[in-house]
Structure 1
Amino acid sequence: IFKSEVKFQHVKHPKGHRSLHKLNRGQEIRPETEREEILSFCVCFSSTAWASYMTNSPTVIVMIGLPARGKTYMSKKLTRYLNWIGVPTKVFNLGVYRREAVRAYKSYDFFRHDNEEAMKIRKQCALVALQDVKEYLMEEGGQIAVFDATNTTRERRDLIQAFVKEYSFKVFFVESVCDDPDVIAANILEVKVSSPDYPEKHRERVMEDFLKRIECYKVTYQPLDPDDYDMDLSFIKVINVGQRFLVNRVQDYIQSKIVYYLMNIHVHSHSIYLSRHGESNHNVEGRIGGDAELSPRGKQFARALQEFIGEHKLSDLKVWTSQLRRTIQTAEELGVPYEQWKILNEIDAGVCEEMTYQMIQETFPEEFALRDQDKYHYRYPGGESYQDLVQRLEPVIMELERQGNVLVICHQAVMRCLLAYFLDKGAEDLPYMKCPLHTVLKLTPVAYGCKVEMFYLNVEAVNTHRDRPLPPGCKPRELQLEGEEPREKTHC
Structure 2
Amino acid sequence: MKRVTNSSTEISFDSPRGGAQIYTTENGLLYHAGKLVVIMAGLPARGKSRIARLLARYLSWLGVQCDVFRVDEYIESFNSGFSMKFYEDPNTLHEHRYYQKYVNNCLTDINEFLYKQNGQVAIFDDINGTKKRRKELVNLFTKRGIKVLLIESMCTDTNIINDNIATVIKRLLKITNMDYETASSLYNKRVQAVSETYEPVDEIEYSYVKLRNYSEHVITNESNSGYLISRILFLLINIRHSTAAVYLLLSPALKYPLCDFLSATDSTAFVDTLSRAIGVMKSSKHRRSLYIPPCLEQEYISQLSRRGFKVNERIELSPVPLDEYTGFDSLKERLGEVEYGLFQKDPYRYRFINGESLCDLAIRLESLLLELEHESGDIVMMASPYVIKVLYAFFRNIPSSEIIHIPLQPSHIYRLTFLSEGAMLKEYALNEL
Normalising by structure 2, report the TM-score. Answer: 0.78
TM-superposed deviation, 1:200: 1.6
Q: Which amino acid is 1:422 matched to? A: F
1:266 aligns with 2:240: yes
Which residue is 2:320 aligned to?
347
CA separation of 1:411 and 1:232: change in aligned 2, threshold 3 A: farther
TM-superposed deviation, 1:203: 1.6
Which residue is 1:331 aligned to?
301
Q: Which moved more, 1:128-137 or 1:450-459?
A: 450-459
SS of match in other structure, 2:193: helix
SS of match in other structure, 2:24: helix
1:106 aligns with 2:92: no
Q: How far apart in 1 are the matches of 2:62 and 2:383?
A: 20
Q: How far apart in 2 are the matches of 1:300 and 1:115?
A: 59
Q: How far apart in 2 are the matches of 1:66 and 1:368?
A: 54
The one-character-per-residue Cα deviations of 1:238-271 (angstroms, maximum 9, x if unpaired) are: 2134432223332222222222323333233333
1:418 aligns with 2:407: no
1:149 aligns with 2:115: no
CA separation of 1:220 and 1:102: change in aligned 2, threshold 3 A: farther
SS of match in other structure, 1:428: helix
TM-superposed deviation, 1:414: 0.8
Which residue is 1:25 aligned to?
none
Q: Which moved more, 1:383-392 or 1:155-164?
A: 383-392
Q: Which amino acid is 2:271 matched to? A: Q
Paired residue for 1:220, among 197, 202, 216? 197
Which residue is 1:437 aligned to?
410
Which residue is 2:36 aligned to?
59
Paired residue for 1:307, among 245, 248, 272? 272
Q: How far apart in 2 are the matches of 1:101 and 1:356?
A: 48
TM-superposed deviation, 1:214: 2.1
Paired residue for 2:364, among 368, 392, 415? 392
Which residue is 1:69 aligned to?
46
Paired residue for 2:219, among 242, 246, 252? 246
Matches within 5 A, 1:27-106: 47-48=24-25, 52-53=29-30, 56-98=33-75, 100=78, 103-104=81-82, 105-106=84-85
1:278 aligns with 2:258: no
Higher CA-based Rg? 1
Q: How far apart in 2 are the matches of 1:327 and 1:164?
A: 55
Q: How far apart in 2 are the matches of 1:203 and 1:185?
A: 14
SS of match in other structure, 2:401: coil
CA separation of 1:98 and 1:190: change in aligned 2, threshold 3 A: closer
TM-superposed deviation, 1:76: 2.3
SS of match in other structure, 1:283: coil
Q: How far apart in 1 are the matches of 2:217 and 2:315?
A: 31
Q: Which amino acid is 1:394 matched to? A: E
TM-superposed deviation, 1:223: 0.6
TM-superposed deviation, 1:161: 1.2
Which residue is 1:322 aligned to?
293
CA separation of 1:327 and 1:134: change in aligned 2, threshold 3 A: farther
Which residue is 2:11 aligned to?
none
Q: Which amino acid is 2:195 matched to? A: K
TM-superposed deviation, 1:144: 0.9
Q: Structure 2: give runs of 5+ residues left out of the alignment.
A: 1-22, 280-284
CA separation of 1:279 and 1:369: change in aligned 2, threshold 3 A: farther
TM-superposed deviation, 1:62: 0.6
SS of match in other structure, 2:373: helix
CA separation of 1:113 and 1:59: change in aligned 2, threshold 3 A: same
Q: Which amino acid is 1:307 matched to? A: D
TM-superposed deviation, 1:91: 1.2
CA separation of 1:272 and 1:304: change in aligned 2, threshold 3 A: farther
Q: How far apart in 1 are the matches of 2:142 and 2:385?
A: 45
The one-character-per-residue Cα deviations of 1:25-48 (angstroms, maximum 9, x if unpaired) are: xxxxxxxxxxxxxxxxxxxxx732
Q: Which amino acid is 2:318 matched to? A: N
Paired residue for 2:207, among 229, 234, 245? 234
TM-superposed deviation, 1:331: 3.1
Q: Which has the higher contact order (CA 8 A, sep 6+)?
A: 2
Q: Which amino acid is 1:283 matched to? A: P
CA separation of 1:458 and 1:330: change in aligned 2, threshold 3 A: farther
For the 8 Å contact 1:90–1:146, the answer to whether it is kept is yes
Matches within 5 A, 1:119-158: 120-158=97-135
Q: Which amino acid is 1:308 matched to? A: T
Q: How far apart in 2 are the matches of 1:380 and 1:417?
A: 17
For the 8 Å contact 1:58–1:137, the answer to whether it is kept is yes
Which residue is 2:15 aligned to?
none
CA separation of 1:173 and 1:321: change in aligned 2, threshold 3 A: same
SS of match in other structure, 2:25: helix
TM-superposed deviation, 1:166: 1.8
For the 8 Å contact 2:251–2:382, the answer to whether it is kept is yes
